[in-house]
Structure 1
Amino acid sequence: MKKKTKAAILASVASVLLVGFALVRKLRRRRLPRAPYVNHAVEREHYINSILHGSERHCVSQIRMKPIAFHQLCHILTEGEYIRPTIHMPVQEQVLLFLHIIGHNVRFRVIGSRFYRSTETVHRYFKVVLRGVLKLYRALIRLPSENTPPEIRDSRRFNPFLKDCVGAIDGTHVRASVPPEIQGRFRGRKDGTTQNVLAAISFDLKFTYVLAGWEGSAHDSRVLNDAFARPGGFSIPEGKYYLGDAGYGNKNGILSPYRSVRYHLKEFSDRLPENEQELFNLRHSSLRTTIERGFGVLKKRFRVLDAEPFWSFETQVKVVLACCVIHNHIMGVDPADYIMESAMNQVDSSGPHQETHSRQDSIEDSRVWNAKRDEICQAMWTDYISYRE
């Protein structure tokens, strides 16, 4: 009898508990309604279409280039089999993710939530596209033609005096994130840690050579010497030269301005050149602003270059090179967009530029190139005086 009573009691308690659990579940369902179902694939496709098939300005603001340049880039990467579509993600989405990240310096998890992708997926395809873009380096970043650039050929101020000039060369600093034990080497004249990036650029604003990865404290001339010494590195066509600042010195292939002489455009705003050296420096400065405009457009288009990086230093170096490759692609397809216009208006290279000089710069400049500079300088002045008279 007692056993039957205990069994009945246990059965009653169990039934009460079951009823209680059922009530709790019901209450929870009422208090925490399930979120409406979202078709991630449809939402993702709708967002991509809004970028690629909306207004051109919206497309440029999101992926930093017009649709025509984007589709051409995807075609090049696909045709060369540098990037392949997968069952999970087409090439267009892979490239769009990459451009969105470097254009706005967006974290992987932020992009993942916007495209309904996991952080791991975004990171994996970012690496895939980065490798693919870098394979285009030799195809898009090439030495300039040995012909006289039209910007010089069609200008009475520069032709025939600078007919052998093929571009301008300089260094720029890009934000870098490095381990604490080596941060001292990466602190240059800029605030924080940076990498010193050497670039040569033609007068149509295309990069013809880029060397990234040097620490921010390295002097420009040291980086240039390394570029010359690398196998398959920087080279200048025989008889041609680039315009450089006084920090490089006047040497073979680099034509620098006269030191201790007015140089920057702003300094000539209220007083015309008074001698041949000032005239040479003025025209040298007018042409060399090309490199400042190139850097200005590059950093304006790709915000990742002016922000604190969040990946390894090796990847940071690769990203700089990839940005230059994509810049050259855009300049070759369709450079006229609002980013270009805005950057060109903001770049002001007429102000004073702080230059540092290493011990090597104090050595006597190349006599041959000094004589060449003096010859150009005198020819300019003679023509200038006769024209004014």
Structure 2
Amino acid sequence: MDETILSTVTTTVASVLAVGLVILKDIRSRRVLRREPHVNREYERGIYMDSILYGSRQDCIDQIRMSHVSFFELCKILAENNLIRETIHMSIKEQVLIFLHIIGHNVRFRVVGGRFYRSIRSIHRYFKVVLGGALTLYKHLIKQPDNSTPLKIRNSRRFYPYFKDCVGAIDGTHIRASVPVEIQGRFRGRKDQTTQNVLAGITFDVKFTYVLAGWEGSAHDSRVLNDALTRPGGFKIPEGKYYLGDAGYGNRNGILSPYRGVRYHLKEFSDHPPENEKELFNLRHSSLRTTIERGFGILKRRFRVLDAEPFWSFETQMEVVLACCVIHNHIMGVDPNDSIMEEAVCDVESQNQSGRVYQTRREVQEENREWTIKRDVICHAMWDDYKNRKNV
């Protein structure tokens, strides 16, 4: 009987050991299968950055929305002004690359973190650092125009001497906004989406001279302009000069608007030349003012974040708009003829399909009499010269 019990115990122990060996072998095999492949993150990150910064010009523009020369010059300016510092964890080049990826393509921090082998926390931290640096450059890159007559006007018989005191154009554009539900009604303008109304002044070489972001999409353009003109450090117009505005602003000190109820948009004159002095004035006014639409078109094409629903706080949304305008001016000063500039053909007519803009009686009364007379003087002189040339 003892021999039977011993045999049974021996058999049981052998079975347990066999099962244990099988389980151990299975666990070991699983460990081998579950082990992730080794990735040299620093090496892969360097290869990716070099492919952008030292590859073809067009690939660089496609990836970071600017050429090599614009990128390295931007890094230099940020470093020399002590706005961005290289850390033991990240170079200045990588910080700026990350920022440009995000605003250029509207990608999430998680996506960029995966591409650069960085944590979301790191991406967010350095995004804010570069954003702050770009905002500091606002006063250096977005400047008031000087008192000289722009080349576009001076070199054209159509515009000179009639618009010799004009320094640029102003207008508002709507940028997608994400705001709390309780205030979304104020941010719904002409479109169903929530937007912020951004006012900008621009010169005829497509550089921004002033940008005001943050107004609700439902706010009227003239209300936004009033705020810009009255706030401390706001929109300044050189003495004796003026900007071209659309009919919504009306004639006021420093703003010259077209005649209302008269043909204005360029497509209306394609087959029918101007028949009177007001139509001629509106045609040339419109030809010059397309610069502001072109500027907005270039800005939104270059920085896709401006044309998509944002995923950060509203304060950051306003700051991003300003930073994009700052970087745009930087590019215009360093490399103004890149492919994005060439491709950004703005359809001005899409902004207002109706050919005429009418105003209420109150708006007529509020127009500045002095600037209405100034517009009439320009209009008469332009029409007289136009008729004389036709008769020659």
- How does the TM-score come out when normalised to structure 2? 0.93
Corresponding position: 1:348 with 2:351: no
Q: Is the 8 A contact 1:248 1:361 kept in 2?
A: no
The residue type equivalent to 2:216 in the other structure is E
Q: Which residue of 2 aligns with 1:388?
A: 390
SS in 2 for 1:363: helix
The residue type equivalent to 1:25 in the other structure is I
Q: Deviations over 1:192-242 (max 9, x none)?
A: 100000000000000000000000000000000000111011110111000
Q: Deviations over 1:260-313 (max 9, x none)?
A: 000000000011111100000000000000000000000000000000100000
The residue type equivalent to 2:68 in the other structure is P
Corresponding position: 1:375 with 2:377: yes
Q: Is the 8 A contact 1:186 1:193 kept in 2?
A: yes
Instruction: Summarize the alignment of residues 54-65 of structure 1 with structure 2, pairs less than 5 Å apart.
Output: 54-65=55-66
- How does the TM-score come out when normalised to structure 1? 0.94
Separation in structure 2 between the aligned mates of residue 106 and residue 378 of structure 1, nearest angstrom: 53
SS in 2 for 1:162: coil
SS in 2 for 1:324: helix
Separation in structure 2 between the aligned mates of residue 360 and residue 105 of structure 1, nearest angstrom: 43
Q: Which residue of 1 aligns with 2:231?
A: 230
How far residue 21 of structure 1 moved from its aligned partner, in angstroms, is 3.9
How far residue 24 of structure 1 moved from its aligned partner, in angstroms, is 2.4
Change in CA separation of 1:199 and 1:9 when aligned onto 2, cut-off 3 Å: same
Q: Which residue of 1 aligns with 2:135?
A: 134
Q: Which residue of 1 aligns with 2:316?
A: 315
Q: Which residue of 2 aligns with 1:163?
A: 164
How far residue 253 of structure 1 moved from its aligned partner, in angstroms, is 0.3
Structure 1 unaligned spans of 5+: none
**Aligned-pair identity (%):** 66
Q: Deviations over 1:290-343 (max 9, x none)?
A: 000000000000000000100000000000000000000000000111111110
Q: Which residue of 2 aligns with 1:22?
A: 24
How far residue 162 of structure 1 moved from its aligned partner, in angstroms, is 0.5
Separation in structure 2 between the aligned mates of residue 360 and residue 212 of structure 1, nearest angstrom: 28
Q: Deviations over 1:73-114 (max 9, x none)?
A: 000000000000000000000000000000000000000101
Q: Which residue of 2 aligns with 1:333?
A: 334
Separation in structure 2 between the aligned mates of residue 191 and residue 383 of structure 1, nearest angstrom: 46
Corresponding position: 1:264 with 2:265: yes
How far residue 35 of structure 1 moved from its aligned partner, in angstroms, is 3.3
Change in CA separation of 1:352 and 1:201 when aligned onto 2, cut-off 3 Å: closer
Separation in structure 1 between the aligned mates of residue 135 and residue 299 of structure 2, nearest angstrom: 16
Q: Deviations over 1:11-64 (max 9, x none)?
A: 87985675344122133246x253331100000000000001110000000000
How far residue 356 of structure 1 moved from its aligned partner, in angstroms, is 8.8
How far residue 349 of structure 1 moved from its aligned partner, in angstroms, is 1.2
Separation in structure 1 between the aligned mates of residue 71 and residue 361 of structure 2, nearest angstrom: 46
Q: Is the 8 A contact 1:247 1:361 kept in 2?
A: no
Instruction: Summarize the alignment of residues 141-160 of structure 1 with structure 2, pairs less than 5 Å apart.
Output: 141-160=142-161
Separation in structure 1 between the aligned mates of residue 343 and residue 285 of structure 2, nearest angstrom: 24
The residue type equivalent to 2:365 in the other structure is I
